[in-house]
Structure 1
Amino acid sequence: VHTFRYDTGLHYDRYLREVIDFLEKDQHFREKLHNTDMEDIKQGKLAKELDFVSHHVRTKLDELKRQEVNRLRTLIKAKQDIEGGNAVDHQALLKQFEYLNHMNPHTFEVEDLDRLIKSATKDLENYDKERHEEFKRYEMMKEHDRREHLKTLNDEERKKEEEHYEEMRKKHADHPKVNHPGSENQLKEVWEEADGLDPEDFDPKTFFNLHDTNGDGFFDEQELEALFTKELEKIYDPTNEEDDMVEMEEERLRMREHVMNEVDTNKDRLVSMGEFLVATKKKEFLEPDSWETLEQNQAYTDAEMREFEEHLAQQEQDLNQRAVDLQKQRTELERQQEQLNAQKIELQQAVEHMERLKSQKVDGLPEVHGE
């Protein structure tokens, strides 16, 4: 949290606290957390339970991410106003970025805003990188669990399980053609099926205004990702337990990143109408390459998988060694306790013996007669 805050200047400390607050309010997740032991955590079972966090909490977490994007949009709008000679409410800006005590307390200059915009875009880029890394770990753990399960089966059961696995992979790959994200064909499909408009009447400017849902003149990350739902529905069915929704969201992220890289020429993580219209005139928009989906791009290499499994094995070995060490400590403590108990008994016996000697000495004293 402190690293994010130092590098970027965004509210990630507050953001993460809010995320934790909302997760703790989710009864299902709270119960799972309470009932999870170390073995479950080691096998990654707790992480999988995040998939079951209620819709309300998911929606709220999405809203928290949107607040971060909104801060970026606020900065860009302020920069446009300053460059256009318009007045900017500096106090309102300072209120949003009050923790940046190195800023001029009275005004934001264009260079100040440029610095903040650069920090904000770097932060969002880091957020995406971390999501990709989390997904890679998720996929490797998923494969690890599958391999471990196969080890528990006999030859016949293992053969059936492998055949079923291949059948499900082929079934998942058997889907309609996925349009290249951000291409004319892809956007026209949204225009026709989601907007209910005639594809012959497709107009990029009208399309932009229709899907700029907050009407601010930009496509932000969430507005772009919403454009790919139709494509994702060709591959993933939420009602089919064989379709992994974690993989679907990774595919959505890949699509958004690709379009951003192609269209967002000034790299401010927002797509203006001007950038969008320029992109619709490029050859890539009219005649795109085919899009390779996740099943055609394994998230990890064989070397990464070996390293991951070696790390898991080392973790298990460390845990086992820790358990052995703790058992040794317990045995030693029990031995010391027995020794202390024996010493205590000896001491009690010695005291009792002394008491008896003292009593016998007093009883055996001769009578003393006065002269």
Structure 2
Amino acid sequence: MAHSVDCALPCMRWRGGLSLKCLLFLVSVLVGFEAVPISVDKTKVKLAEEQDTGLHYDRYLREVIDFLEKDQHFREKLHNTDMEDIKQGKLAKELDFVSHHVRTKLDELKRQEVSRLRALIKAKQDIEGGKDMMMDHQALLKQFEYLNHNNPHTFEVEDLDRLIKSATNDLENYDKERHEEFKRYEMMKEHERREHLKTLDEDGRKKEEEHHEELKKKHADHPKVNHPGSQDQLKEVWEEADGLDPEDFDPKTFFSLHDTNGDGYFDEQELESLFTKELEKVYDPANEEDDMVEMEEERLRMREHVMNEVDTNKDRLVSLDEFLIATKKKEFLEPESWETLEQNQAYTEEEMREFEEHLAREEKDLNQKTLDLQKQKEELERQQEQLNAQKLELQQAVEHMARLKTQNAEPPAEHKGEQIYL
């Protein structure tokens, strides 16, 4: 699924600067609105559907953003703040000048977040039974570097600086992590195929290999995939999706048509939507040979490629100017052929070998743990049997003692019924 990066609240963009919401959510990757005069009725602006950033501190991030946006001084400082200054923490220093009300609310938010993290730490300690408590505490804190834990009470410049840098770093690594997940997916799929072949006899393996090769050929047999972001690719969208004459193709009009939120920029989601026609040439969910997980990886590759070529200021948005400049380049008019995933295996044989070795080690460890647990179970059963035997012996001893006591309390049998004569 294409990753959505829309923002729930207005994300305003000023000349020469980025909105705080755009900044913190993937450093401007989130959708924004063009700056409008104060007199514009903002209730008529259609807000994008709220999307989770995928960060574990998403709620805290959103709440901090919401309150900072309410401070006029802080918003005005964004006018002349460029991306590198933001990343280096220069914007965070402006926190000293926000209103008392905003600072008070940020203090409260931080205390709540610190309490939440402490509850998580306590829960982890409880689960682990207190073992290696200090180490676990430090390891868990390491995951929450967006907070200054030395000051759990007030929200300071360092907190905003940490939050900006953490969100920037985490979200910029998002695509990289997705690629790694896809690689593991592909290797696991191949591993399972090879393991299945081991369960078959010679004839079965031969048929399965032939079927596998047939599926690969069928998947590779598709119409030419245009180079993403090229004139041919965009013209195809213009003609087939927009229903317009390819001879009348106009880049500026095309941009306006597909800038769906009208903010003057192509965000990642809007870019990815342009590749649907190309992907449909290769992938069909009804076909056995087509893997939809691979389709989304292909979509990601296309979007990354276009961003690398067109997004010259690296703010993860494509402006109209950047787009128009790109349409004048030779690469736009005469692009190289695009190699799809089947032409670019996600992993090397060396990586596959290491992956299978890792799986083998995990399986061995799991088997050893299973064996250890089985031995522990047998030992517990043996001990239980001993306890049951001891319990039985004790019960028998108690019953024997009770019988002896009863016998001692009764009169001798020969005296029963006898009369005594004087």
Q: Does 1:303 align with 2:242?
A: no
Summarize the Cα distance change of 1:191–1:119 in structure 2 as closer, same or farther, 3 Å threshold.
farther
Summarize the Cα distance change of 1:112–1:258 in structure 2 as closer, same or farther, 3 Å threshold.
closer
Q: Does 1:357 align with 2:404?
A: yes
CA RMSD of aligned residues (A): 3.3
| Residue in structure 2 matching 1:337, options 384, 400, 405 | 384
| Residue in structure 2 matching 1:225, options 266, 269, 272 | 272
Q: Deviations over 1:201-220 (max 9, x none)?
A: 11100000011111111111
| Residue in structure 1 matching 2:225, options 178, 203, 214 | 178
Hey, what does 1:66 align to over in structure 2? 5
Report the alpha carbon displacement of residue 165 of structure 1 after superposing the two structures with TM: 1.2
Q: Does 1:208 align with 2:173?
A: no
Report the alpha carbon displacement of residue 197 of structure 1 after superposing the two structures with TM: 1.2
Summarize the Cα distance change of 1:101–1:332 in structure 2 as closer, same or farther, 3 Å threshold.
farther
Q: SS where residue 361 of structure 2 aligns?
A: helix
| Residue in structure 2 matching 1:155, options 178, 199, 202 | 202
Task: Work out whether residues 215 and 288 of structure 2, in 8 Å CA contact, stay in contact via their aligned partners in 1.
Answer: no
Q: Deviations over 1:12-52 (max 9, x none)?
A: xxxxxxxxxxxxxxxxxxxxxxxxxxxxxxxxxxxxxxxxx
Q: Deviations over 1:306-345 (max 9, x none)?
A: 1111121122222221221111111111111111111111
Counterpart Cα distance in 2 of 1:287 and 1:112: 34
Task: Work out whether residues 118 and 268 of structure 1, in 8 Å CA contact, stay in contact via their aligned partners in 2.
Answer: no
Task: Work out whether residues 13 and 35 of structure 2, in 8 Å CA contact, stay in contact via their aligned partners in 1.
Answer: no
Task: Work out whether residues 224 and 256 of structure 1, in 8 Å CA contact, stay in contact via their aligned partners in 2.
Answer: yes
Q: Deviations over 1:90-113 (max 9, x none)?
A: xx9xx9843369969843222498
Summarize the Cα distance change of 1:198–1:239 in structure 2 as closer, same or farther, 3 Å threshold.
same
Task: Work out whether residues 183 and 286 of structure 1, in 8 Å CA contact, stay in contact via their aligned partners in 2.
Answer: yes
Q: Deviations over 1:157-190 (max 9, x none)?
A: 2112111211221221122211110011111111
Could you tell me which amino acid in structure 2 is paired with residue 354 of structure 1?
M
Could you tell me which amino acid in structure 1 is paired with residue 271 of structure 2?
L
Report the alpha carbon displacement of residue 123 of structure 1 after superposing the two structures with TM: 3.9
TM-score (norm 2): 0.64
Counterpart Cα distance in 2 of 1:330 and 1:307: 34
Matches within 5 A, 1:264-303: 264-303=311-350
Hey, what does 1:139 align to over in structure 2? 186
Counterpart Cα distance in 2 of 1:119 and 1:281: 37
Task: Work out whether residues 215 and 289 of structure 2, in 8 Å CA contact, stay in contact via their aligned partners in 1.
Answer: yes
Task: Work out whether residues 236 and 244 of structure 1, in 8 Å CA contact, stay in contact via their aligned partners in 2.
Answer: yes
Summarize the Cα distance change of 1:232–1:357 in structure 2 as closer, same or farther, 3 Å threshold.
same
Which structure shows the higher helix fraction?
A: 1
Summarize the Cα distance change of 1:172–1:104 in structure 2 as closer, same or farther, 3 Å threshold.
closer
Structure possessing the higher radius of gyration over alpha carbons: 2
Report the alpha carbon displacement of residue 287 of structure 1 after superposing the two structures with TM: 1.3
Identity of aligned residues (%): 72
| Residue in structure 2 matching 1:130, options 168, 173, 177 | 177
Matches within 5 A, 1:78-93: 80=17
Report the alpha carbon displacement of residue 78 of structure 1 after superposing the two structures with TM: 8.5
TM-score (norm 1): 0.72
Counterpart Cα distance in 1 of 2:230 and 2:35: 37
Q: SS where residue 64 of structure 2 aligns?
A: coil
Gapped runs of 5+ residues in structure 1?
1-57
| Residue in structure 1 matching 2:212, options 165, 170, 174 | 165
Report the alpha carbon displacement of residue 86 of structure 1 after superposing the two structures with TM: 8.5
Counterpart Cα distance in 1 of 2:311 and 2:253: 19
Counterpart Cα distance in 2 of 1:251 and 1:339: 63
Could you tell me which amino acid in structure 1 is paired with residue 374 of structure 2?
Q
Task: Work out whether residues 311 and 317 of structure 2, in 8 Å CA contact, stay in contact via their aligned partners in 1.
Answer: yes
Summarize the Cα distance change of 1:280–1:306 in structure 2 as closer, same or farther, 3 Å threshold.
same
